[in-house]
Structure 1
């Protein structure tokens, strides 16, 4: 975020003495990106932010990955995954897809999470359903269905659902931000961008969070890099990380609701980049929303067949009726994975059915990656083995996903 915010009590000049009414010095923490060369914020703590009293291994949920081999398109049903009542938004996540740049997980939760810090990269969590609060060192965000919740790397936070929440978690190994082409050289969202600063909602500051009685010896679950992979540590802090009396800067979490995105349409079918919301290293996030469609008299509103030779395409279907996938078994809560090296497009019956359409009532969140995606344990558990053969009108004869008899259904 390049947009400056100030909350709470900060000194007139950075890196100078800042004391409470009794003369006690507050402890300044710089939270910044790219080695002091990018966005940052300064936070002022009552306690010492680096004071830990214990550090133990946190065993992460299953992070195993299985290559998409032999290569084929996949249909993964997230709503078929089971989550028990004790699943929280941090430890209850199940890995669906991932590579070395980004991991996509899913969780259904109705309980508070532990304090958490992702030290690997930013998180962008899409709220499929539900509502609640995200408490952070910067203040509190309210979230609701349709929100993207963007959490910068190393932000200590916890999820507090007020309703059962279905969360689609995009975890980067990098930062996540608006596409550079949407931004001025100073970071303002430009006129051609499909959203603007008014649509981005930062944390609400509550001074009582820092001035009240806070717990000591507080455990924070930290996800971090280890040995070329991903590891977890339970760090116990002498004082509560939320003891911040004030902060200012351009780095903080925020929400953006999918309904505030203004779709860009055209006379003929528009390619996915016009639907882009965010970008990270080697991946992009797009959304496809209810919109007026192509108005050329001979237009074909559904996509043309395309070979994404440089990327894997992941679509998460979250609302309406996605026209291009009619007849495939895709429904709400489905993911389609169309890998690089495979020409994909609409189901054959969807092409003729779309002709003459003036409006599509559909919502989907797309992640395109520029390195192949592997399947996580949740992806394997939720797979529909018949999907790969649906363009040919075939169904599966067994659980191995192999083609079987021809079907016109």
Structure 2
């Protein structure tokens, strides 16, 4: 995160003695990125965070890549598959490459364990549902539309308020999600032209440290391998922390879209970037105001990016047959664009009401067998008139 935050009690100077009420020392943990050169936080534990009473490897996650999938456009429906479970065990994988993986999930229960993604940062979009993300950084309530960033190696849980109709989208990344530098001034403050501002972000709230002792189960995901760590104390035993590395959230409906006299390209909708892909938010907005403007996008071949759109809600002006939970994948190097009649229908239109997420990767994305089960096989031919 680009902003400093602190919660709870911390010493005046880091790496100095800091005593608990019982006269024993808090255990300081530095959580750093890029070695010691990136953002970091200092956390103060009641217990040594290194304690484990048992370590067991669980069965590997299956390789679900659809290895003989054709090179073509895909449209698939993420609401048609349902896997019972919590925020982690209910995940269904749809797209992946060496640097990212995309899932959708419909949690039907809350976890009785703790989770840590050891190798990946996570972006979690709350499509439907509400609840709270609990971590050793504190509590972070969430509602529909929230986009939560969970730094790599954060111990956390997600608890939902009910199980009537929850839906999340998760994108793993092997490099951090970052606010684009061109949105920030030399001091790191968001500039006036940025599509969001500091006050839009939701930060963790303080939780009293948990001093419970017993057997606490932590599932650690390391790529496709899962390890079970048993810890003799509660993982959320933090008396205080400060720094720049922590979970945070931003709601898609707080994004301020930009418009132009003629059609502006997708980078104008940029939310975050990593080393290997970008994330964008599409929001309701006025259309272009040139007297001869064509609001629908032009046809496009991106020779080094795969484009994914996840449709959230609204009327999608360049597509037929898509709705909430639909995903389209347009592979790199193949032209894509509005379907027949959509270009003409957009001429003279003044406004669009749509919410969508866009993932643009800088190398090919591969569908999984779950795409094979949920796809619309007619989609690659939907441009025939």
Relative distance call for 1:390 and 1:166 in structure 2 (3 A) is same
Shift of 1:3: 1.1
Question: Is it true that 1:96 corresponds to 2:94 in the alignment?
Answer: yes
Q: Secondary structure at the match of 2:182?
A: helix
2:18 is the counterpart of 1:26: no
TM-score (structure 1 length as normaliser)? 0.91
1:83 to partner: Cα distance: 2.6
Q: What is the alpha-carbon distance in structure 2 between the residues aligned to residue 163 and residue 276 of structure 1?
A: 32
Q: Distance in 1 between matches of 2:135 and 2:71?
A: 41
Match of 1:392 in 2: 384
> What is residue 106 of structure 1 aligned with on the other side?
104
- In the TM superposition, what is the alpha-carbon distance from 1:224 to its structure 2 partner? 1.5
Q: Deviations over 1:147-186 (max 9, x none)?
A: 1011011110001001332000011011111112212233
What is the TM-score with the length of structure 2 in the denominator?
Answer: 0.96
Any conservation in 1 of the 2:69–2:367 contact (CA below 8 Å)? no
Q: Which residue in the other structure is 2:169 paired with?
A: 168
Instruction: Give 1:195's aligned residue.
Output: 196
Match among 258, 265, 269 for residue 264 of structure 1: 258
Match of 1:346 in 2: 338
Q: Say whether residues 1:295 and 2:289 are aligned partners.
A: yes
Task: Please state if 1:367 is matched with 2:368.
Answer: no
Alignment partner, residue 401 of structure 1: none
1:370-401 Cα deviation digits (max 9, x unpaired): 111111232222111111101014xxxxxxxx
CA distance in 1, matches of 2:280, 2:248: 17
Do the aligned residues in 2 keep the contact of 1:110 with 1:162 (CA within 8 Å)?
A: no
Shift of 1:215: 4.2
Whole-angstrom distance in 2 between the partners of 1:89 and 1:19: 36
Structure 2: stretches of 5+ with no match in the other structure: none
1:380 aligns with 2:380: no
Residue 59 (str. 1) matches residue 59 (str. 2)? yes
- Aligned-partner Cα distance in 1 for 2:61–2:142: 24
Aligned with 1:281: secondary structure? coil
Q: Tell me by how many angstroms 1:58 deviates.
A: 2.8
Residue 243 of structure 1 is matched in structure 2 by 237
Task: Report if aligned partners of 1:33, 1:39 keep a CA contact under 8 Å in 2.
Answer: yes
Quick check: 1:283 aligned with 2:277?
yes
Conserved? CA contact 1:68–1:373, under 8 Å: no
Instruction: List 4+ stretches of structure 1 deviating above 6 A.
Output: none
Question: 1:163, 1:256 → 2: CA distance?
Answer: 22
**Deviation of 1:216 (Å):** 2.3
Query: In 1, are the aligned partners of 2:178 and 2:272 still within 8 Å (CA)?
Result: yes
Aligned residue pair count: 382
Match of residue 310 from structure 1: 304
Q: Give the SS at the match of 1:57.
A: strand
- Aligned partner of 1:322 in structure 2 is 316
Question: Displacement of 1:331 after TM fit?
Answer: 1.6
Name 2:138's counterpart in structure 1. 139
Say whether the 8 Å CA contact 2:82–2:105 is kept in structure 1. no
Conserved 8 A contact 2:211-2:234: no
Counterpart residue number, 1:336: 328
Q: Give the conservation status (yes or no) of the 8 Å contact 2:61–2:226.
A: no
Matched, 1:45 2:39: no
Structure 1 CA distance, aligned partners of 2:149 and 2:162? 20
